[in-house]
Amino acid sequence: MKKRFLIISFILILALGMFSNVSAQDAPYYFEVNKEVVHVYWNSDGTMSIDYTWYFNNLAGSHPIDFVDVGMPNNNFSTSTVLAEVNDVRVNASTSDYQGSGSGFAVVMGAQTIQPGQKGIVHVFVPNISNVLYIDSSDDTYTSAIFAPTWFGSEFVSGTTDFTMTYHLPPNMNSEEPRWHGAPSGFPDTPQAAYDSENRVTYTWYAPAASAADYYSFGASFPRTYVPAEAIYVPPPEPLISEDTIFSLLCGGFFLFIFVGAPAISAIAGRRRKMQYLPPRVAIEGHGIKRGLTAVEAAILMEQPLDKVMTMILFGVIKKGAAQVETRDPLNLSFTAEKPANLHPYEDYFLKAFAETEKTKRQRALQDMTVSLVKTVSEKIRGFSRKETVDYYRSIMEKAWAQVEGADTPEVKSQKLDETLEWTMLDKDYDDRARRVYHGPVYVPMWWGRYDPTYRPSTGSAPVSSSAPRPSSSGQALPGADFAASMVTGVQTFSQKVLGNVQTFTERVTGATNPLPKSSSSGGRGGRGGGGRSCACACACAGCACACAGGGR
């Protein structure tokens, strides 16, 4: 009996162990990154080296952390030179086990897998990554070095992260020569500058409560003389052949089209591809309509031009009494002492961006805001049909126009205009339609004086903030043509005075949210924990030529 009891007990213990192991494997990944330290070395040969240290806390009941995906700027690295350690024990790095899209590798944890309820320190060093420097468009004697560290899927990360990013610039540089770029939200605008043991200028950005699930982009520029000329990427010149010329060539002859027209079409398609800033996964058809998006989020889903999206956000914060336009050229805002409670996150981010007085920093903050907004919309649309959802919001837009067009008095038209303004702006032909619809006198909304500093009603302009209810119209009328022109001018102001070149701005966003596909792709696995989709950036701007990584699960 005693022997039989021991055998049964052993079987039960074994069965319970097997059940526990299966349950752990089926559990979702859910962990904390208590601390993250990143060192980026910009070397004198024009390459970069990346040093990551993550302090993981795998939460009880979650999946074991058996892989950590690390997104890379490009494929110009060798896994044979990668140093990967877990709790000071050497482990392997594998591109074949990489889960993310684009470039990267997986840290294969093996016997060092971090079990639920355990902590572990993962250290990765990747040396000599090439093709990561670009010409600084604000000063062609400088090169631009920008990097966004790999991030983890927000559904897998809990809590905040003590985050430190340090740039190590090429050795023997005078401290006055390099320049840092605007910092991402949550980090100080001015990094701590110093020299390291190799006589490199260092810039350190620190945030005690960052997020390991957020996209952060850091940058600096330094004189090109500190690296070989061939190490700096020079973008090819813009194609000189327009679309109209292409059509003429098509009519002119088949062979001429083959040798001239086809390459030009390819270049145009490439430019259009760079304007598609939504990540590919939102195009995967699910089922049903995603309701509840704001007009701005619907505009992102429809991939409206970003200068129009920015103008829609501007109208939103003005209507809510959070801001007022002080000057249009340049576009400067004043803000209320206390922000309204009903601001959307992207509106709050927008106001913080406009608090930046330096143009380059403001553009960088607006870019970060847009990247965050695109990521949010991407997550919201997951599992739904994009086509059905776009059609749904297009129908809302048409109903909004119908309400404005069907108003039988100028006063009612003003009320409908105030209620539906952002939804009508979803129309891709908004400029022409506004000129057609807004004819005769248009009674402007109460908040119009906060948008147009040249407009001042005879009774005095509306206050910047008021909690008291008020009618939708100020009682003051503008000629319809002037009103429509003012609306269109608002978009043009953003295009010319705030964002600069809209195509370049959009390409920067696309580089972070929907990077160009690589010729070598990574395989997928169902749900291994860790980070890592890469951002294969190739954007050249006033210091933003990305060498970044990010993403995933």
Task: Give domain status of residue 255, yes or no.
Answer: yes
Residues 506 and 277 sit within 8 Å (Cβ to Cβ): yes
Domain count of the chain?
A: 3
Considering the domain architecture, whether residues 305 and 224 belong to the same structural domain is answered as: no
Considering the domain architecture, whether residues 451 and 487 belong to the same structural domain is answered as: yes
SS3 assignment, position 211: coil
Helix (H) or strand (E) holding 513: helix 502-513
Task: Give domain status of residue 15, yes or no.
Answer: no
pLDDT of the residue at 529: 40
Range of the domain at 468: 280-509
Considering the domain architecture, whether residues 424 and 544 belong to the same structural domain is answered as: no
Task: Give domain status of residue 329, yes or no.
Answer: yes
Considering the domain architecture, whether residues 313 and 250 belong to the same structural domain is answered as: no
Considering the domain architecture, whether residues 287 and 310 belong to the same structural domain is answered as: yes
pLDDT of the residue at 268: 39
Considering the domain architecture, whether residues 202 and 303 belong to the same structural domain is answered as: no
Task: Give domain status of residue 18, yes or no.
Answer: no
Considering the domain architecture, whether residues 172 and 270 belong to the same structural domain is answered as: no
SS3 assignment, position 104: strand
Task: Encode pLDDT of 103-143 as tens digits.
Answer: 889 999 999 999 999 999 999 999 999 989 988 877 889 99
Considering the domain architecture, whether residues 357 and 419 belong to the same structural domain is answered as: yes
Residues 493 and 315 sit within 8 Å (Cβ to Cβ): no
Look at residue 209 and tell me whether its pLDDT is greater than 50. yes
SS3 assignment, position 464: coil
Considering the domain architecture, whether residues 103 and 216 belong to the same structural domain is answered as: yes
SS3 assignment, position 377: helix
Query: Which of 349, 289, 309, 341 shows the shortest CA–CA distance to 499?
Result: 309
Query: Which of 339, 273, 319 shows the shortest CA–CA distance to 536?
Result: 273
Task: Give domain status of residue 287, yes or no.
Answer: yes
Residues 267 and 235 sit within 8 Å (Cβ to Cβ): no
Strands 133-135 and 232-233: parallel
CA-CA distance, 271 to 516, in Å (whole number)? 11
Strands 473-479 and 142-147: unpaired
Considering the domain architecture, whether residues 248 and 354 belong to the same structural domain is answered as: no
Considering the domain architecture, whether residues 55 and 121 belong to the same structural domain is answered as: yes
pLDDT of the residue at 117: 94
Q: 0.75 cut: is pTM over it?
A: no
Task: Give domain status of residue 9, yes or no.
Answer: no
Using N-to-C axis directions, what is the helix angle for 410-424 and 306-319, rounded to 10°? 130
CB atoms inside a 10 Å sphere around CB 235: 12
For the ranges 45-54, 80-89, 215-224, 469-478, the lowest mean pLDDT is seen at: 469-478
Task: Encode pLDDT of 62-119 as tens digits.
Answer: 999 999 989 888 888 999 999 999 999 999 999 888 876 668 899 999 999 999 999 9
How far apart, in Å, do the first and last CA atoms of the chain sit?
Answer: 51
Q: What's the rounded mean pLDDT across residues 171-181?
A: 92
Look at residue 200 and tell me whether its pLDDT is greater than 90. yes
Helix (H) or strand (E) holding 468: none
Considering the domain architecture, whether residues 305 and 216 belong to the same structural domain is answered as: no
Task: Give domain status of residue 12, yes or no.
Answer: no
